[in-house]
Structure 1
């Protein structure tokens, strides 16, 4: 939308030397006012009339200006509209109508900005509006301080800075980014760990990397996250090779007849696979990935012969083999034989789904905690201390992975910032994420603790807990639990009707266990998934909590 007719009329009067009438003097005052409008300024106008593309706007001063509508704009007579100045070169002013949020049309906002000597811009209006919503003072000093805080983080949303200031959280570029992630449910530490594992695994996919470099990268990572000594892990190409292992053409050969003889027996082994102890190949791999690993190892018969304890007499991989021991022995074998193995056989092994899954488990084992370790004093703090140190070391180690260096460092840095922000939160709020390692799965849990002004919980105080689950099979599940002494009541909210039916049919399993422990239970189930908001349901609620509340949120595979 352009405001030009008014300026043209005034300038024509001046250039022609016409007598300046009282009406023209009024125009002069209006023109000077309009000329002083800077880009980003906002003013209010009422649509008095519309003729084609021409619209007459009434200002709060009682004066009118004529503007031309751009294509696509729609206004109606009598409509009160806020306009923002897009540009003003002294000859032509371009303005645009803007949608004002709830409360922004209140003249109090503009008066507050004017008193604080701040420009009436959409950004500043959003700031004042957000402060009013949070119940914060909008005196001149408070507005000026908030404007400085917002300006210190370019590109930040005023609402975000206002919320963080209200919650007394430290404000910088990293903390603002993490706060936005937490608000948008992108805060899971375990999810970021899995992202990092995927990035590390992809470092083996570069075809331009030669065999010894690929082996060296693998061994560095296994040594970094496992118990293998660095001396063994870095022995790439420098070890003494046994002459009897060298095939005629200097390459690892594959005995196809030998593999064929084992195929039938191996299939039977897969059918007989059952639940195995945690930390074993059978526990970590499903039948498909287990078979995949067996097949690629078949390309390295010398490994099978040297590690008979990992295989049956027929050469079948034993499901009860420990993952740690297996990865360590693979690393030593590759390090000692990098110059004698074909690039294809090494690539097939390191890129196989089975090996990638074992490597993933190796990392997540380092960065998760077992349920039995949770009661141990400082188990969580020790976990994050170890993670922080290893992430720092991993960023330095990234130099050894030229093709994936930036991705590794970026992903590791994001995880590090998340942990640091969580540490900042924990200084003022009882909050921590606990990545838990369960049988056959890893769980990202969040612990929220609300306390009533620091008052110690008495025996007669009611405890309220909120649990959120995101499950592969059950979908979203939210549970509201209240406990008073030994009386427990829980409301279950499920987004899926089939999941609701499944839980209704099996809820007695839970209530029976609780009753055996001396609890009286009342369970209600309904189909109505609830959305939990991190800021509203935790941080803000903590400031006004009238009782003690615990919230646990889990990301679980059913």
Structure 2
């Protein structure tokens, strides 16, 4: 990045480094109440300053010109440029001293340095020089900074490592040493694309939701563009392929059983009696949700009259405490599609009821996500237009009425269109498929399939199924592009589909070293990118056995940035909400009792704290290298003979 004399703007986080004017600048003579004017004037100090290129991990040396709180102005050696930066850690420094620093952060609006104590500088420099000489590499500032980064992140500085890293630094000269070092350390494929993805994830700018929206937008524009330049056959073929994608993976979705379905219609009496006994055992064991299990409910299970939906809800609440939650979490975070087994339940594996419960919960998961209706997407005029397009096709009166009223479900309407389109009336079909109303329905159906709602998240393995669907659907879209090359308009999908496929592949690699998933969330009136971090110590023998810590990072339209730290131990939840805005803190505080009551009904005790001290999550510090010591210089050995 380029650093000139302009001080950094202040940041709201506790790690922010406030800029300040020089005592000799015009800004210093302004009144105290004009802080903004001070900063503006301060940006014009030091006319002799020329821009200087800095990289993460780079070593700097210079004289301290000014020092206030955690901010420092340094006149660099040998070029005499002046930079303003934040200082992290302990720094027993004074104005006028000459010291050595390392670049920790070099974003466009913030520079952060680490002070290297004088008693460590000589030993460290000697070690770095020996390592470079042993590897037959020149003693340049760049090479020294690279070795320092390797030391900071506990990596070997043998000949092979240094030569590999120097080669990579030359090949990707615009990439920070920290990125190259961490990618090499954790065997992440070092390519131009992966470097961009790694840096985007570490600075919080890679949003899966953005890619989902890009693909759905191109799908919406695809059929109109095909219809303008091709015969109707090509249009019908592509549309049929897209609608088939929406119908696939049905076996992984919640089973949409009729509301009146009873347990007796799908489970024999012998199995129902076993379920009743298992529930009685939970009452005797003092299960937190045992209060919801009455004798009347057990009797209804035995005679088979309890609705299936109520049965599944009861079994889910009773037999899916931490044991099942952890099973689900571990599968979803490491990408394994391991199903729920009987031994995942809080029952002896030999208990015959365990297998019955596991099968029921898996086969008949709760349907908690209400199907989206077309009135959520199309206004009255657009619905009238849609009826005009389909007017020449035979249609049941009730469906026609539902379209007019807007109560027709998007998925049902698309299925009807797929089965009703006739090649005998190509003009009417083409008019429908090219209409903006149909494009909206198609794009929304894919967006709904490729995002999560709060209701979907209540269903077990919903995150895992989302990623499985994305991966499979992108493969099929890629196949459509390969087989339909003669339809040149499909090429508009090539770049966004390829980009998302590569992103999913990189996420798999990233999850080998850090339990992290980006979640595209769809709320009622807005979308939000949610990042899920599991903050478990990697070296622990059983990191999730006795509880675990999660960090949820959300970017909300109205609430702003929000971090939620959640610690789950047994049935106790410790949660801290960090908001970006004071008004968001107040809003969450005012409604926290509703969350507390809802969790209490599930058998959990919530202890919550809300504060407006938001900090941007750091993937490297929080997950990848949580134990990196900033100021320690450890003993490293390298073989001169190599």
Q: TM-score, normalised by structure 1?
A: 0.60
Q: Tell me if the contact between 1:436 and 1:442 (Cα under 8 Å) persists in the aligned partners.
A: yes
Residue 531 of structure 1 and its aligned partner are, at CA, apart by 0.7
Are 1:358 and 2:441 counterparts?
Answer: yes
d(CA) in 2 for partners of 1:377 and 1:521? 24
1:209 to 229, 239, 244: 229
Deviations 1:29-76 (A, max 9, x none): xxxxxxxxxxxxxxxxxxxxxxxxxxxxxxxxxxxxxxxxxx985999
Structure 1 residues 329 and 489 mapped into 2: Cα distance closer, same or farther (>3 Å)?
closer
Residue 133 of structure 1 and its aligned partner are, at CA, apart by 2.8
Residue 80 of structure 1 and its aligned partner are, at CA, apart by 3.1
Residue 492 of structure 1 and its aligned partner are, at CA, apart by 1.4
Structure 1 residues 356 and 129 mapped into 2: Cα distance closer, same or farther (>3 Å)?
farther
Structure 1 residues 378 and 289 mapped into 2: Cα distance closer, same or farther (>3 Å)?
closer
Paired residue for 1:456? Answer: 542
Paired residue for 1:278? Answer: 370
2:489 to 398, 403, 407: 403
**Secondary structure in structure 2 of the residue aligned to 1:524:** strand
**Secondary structure in structure 2 of the residue aligned to 1:178:** helix
Paired residue for 1:540? Answer: 625
Are 1:81 and 2:88 counterparts?
Answer: no
Structure 1 residues 472 and 485 mapped into 2: Cα distance closer, same or farther (>3 Å)?
same
Residue 412 of structure 1 and its aligned partner are, at CA, apart by 0.9
Q: What does residue range 110-509 of structure 1 map to in structure 2 within 5 Å?
A: 112-121=131-140, 123-151=142-170, 156-206=175-225, 208-210=228-230, 212=232, 213-226=234-247, 278-282=370-374, 285-286=375-376, 289-300=378-389, 302-303=391-392, 306-312=395-401, 317-331=404-418, 333-336=420-423, 339-341=426-428, 347=434, 349=435, 351-352=436-437, 355-367=438-450, 370-371=456-457, 373-375=459-461, 379=465, 382-383=468-469, 386-387=472-473, 389-397=475-483, 399=485, 401-405=487-491, 407-433=492-518, 445-449=530-534, 450-456=536-542, 461=546, 463-509=548-594
d(CA) in 2 for partners of 1:126 and 1:81? 16
Residue 417 of structure 1 and its aligned partner are, at CA, apart by 0.9
Residue 137 of structure 1 and its aligned partner are, at CA, apart by 3.6
d(CA) in 2 for partners of 1:430 and 1:511? 27
Q: Tell me if the contact between 1:367 and 1:387 (Cα under 8 Å) persists in the aligned partners.
A: no
d(CA) in 2 for partners of 1:307 and 1:125? 76
d(CA) in 2 for partners of 1:422 and 1:280? 30
Residue 131 of structure 1 and its aligned partner are, at CA, apart by 1.8
**Secondary structure in structure 2 of the residue aligned to 1:480:** strand
Q: Tell me if the contact between 1:490 and 1:522 (Cα under 8 Å) persists in the aligned partners.
A: yes
Deviations 1:484-540 (A, max 9, x none): 433333221111232222222211101122233444432221222221112221121
Q: Tell me if the contact between 1:215 and 1:338 (Cα under 8 Å) persists in the aligned partners.
A: no
Structure 1 residues 440 and 301 mapped into 2: Cα distance closer, same or farther (>3 Å)?
same
Residue 115 of structure 1 and its aligned partner are, at CA, apart by 4.4
Structure 1 residues 462 and 81 mapped into 2: Cα distance closer, same or farther (>3 Å)?
same
Q: Tell me if the contact between 1:216 and 1:335 (Cα under 8 Å) persists in the aligned partners.
A: no
d(CA) in 1 for partners of 2:483 and 2:382? 27
d(CA) in 2 for partners of 1:193 and 1:304? 33
d(CA) in 1 for partners of 2:239 and 2:420? 12
Residue 372 of structure 1 and its aligned partner are, at CA, apart by 5.4
**Secondary structure in structure 2 of the residue aligned to 1:470:** strand
Q: Tell me if the contact between 2:533 and 2:552 (Cα under 8 Å) persists in the aligned partners.
A: no
d(CA) in 2 for partners of 1:491 and 1:364? 31
d(CA) in 2 for partners of 1:379 and 1:80? 56
Moved more, 391-400 or 473-482: 391-400
Structure 1 residues 225 and 401 mapped into 2: Cα distance closer, same or farther (>3 Å)?
farther
d(CA) in 1 for partners of 2:190 and 2:244? 38
d(CA) in 2 for partners of 1:473 and 1:159? 34
**Secondary structure in structure 1 of the residue aligned to 2:485:** helix
Structure 1 residues 495 and 277 mapped into 2: Cα distance closer, same or farther (>3 Å)?
closer
Residue 443 of structure 1 and its aligned partner are, at CA, apart by 6.6
Q: Tell me if the contact between 1:217 and 1:400 (Cα under 8 Å) persists in the aligned partners.
A: no
Ranges in structure 1 where 5+ consecutive residues have no aligned partner: 1-70, 84-98, 229-275, 545-558
Q: Tell me if the contact between 1:211 and 1:339 (Cα under 8 Å) persists in the aligned partners.
A: no
**Secondary structure in structure 1 of the residue aligned to 2:391:** helix
Residue 81 of structure 1 and its aligned partner are, at CA, apart by 0.8
**Secondary structure in structure 2 of the residue aligned to 1:468:** strand
Residue 415 of structure 1 and its aligned partner are, at CA, apart by 0.9
Structure 1 residues 133 and 338 mapped into 2: Cα distance closer, same or farther (>3 Å)?
farther
Q: Tell me if the contact between 2:574 and 2:607 (Cα under 8 Å) persists in the aligned partners.
A: yes
Q: Tell me if the contact between 1:210 and 1:343 (Cα under 8 Å) persists in the aligned partners.
A: no
Q: Tell me if the contact between 1:130 and 1:158 (Cα under 8 Å) persists in the aligned partners.
A: yes
Q: Tell me if the contact between 1:219 and 1:335 (Cα under 8 Å) persists in the aligned partners.
A: no
d(CA) in 1 for partners of 2:475 and 2:219? 17
Structure 1 residues 400 and 540 mapped into 2: Cα distance closer, same or farther (>3 Å)?
farther
Q: Tell me if the contact between 2:575 and 2:607 (Cα under 8 Å) persists in the aligned partners.
A: yes
Residue 196 of structure 1 and its aligned partner are, at CA, apart by 0.8
**Secondary structure in structure 2 of the residue aligned to 1:340:** helix
d(CA) in 2 for partners of 1:104 and 1:209? 64
Q: How well do the aligned residues superpose, as a CA RMSD in angstroms? A: 4.4
**Secondary structure in structure 2 of the residue aligned to 1:302:** coil
Structure 1 residues 208 and 181 mapped into 2: Cα distance closer, same or farther (>3 Å)?
same
d(CA) in 1 for partners of 2:509 and 2:611? 37
Residue 198 of structure 1 and its aligned partner are, at CA, apart by 0.9
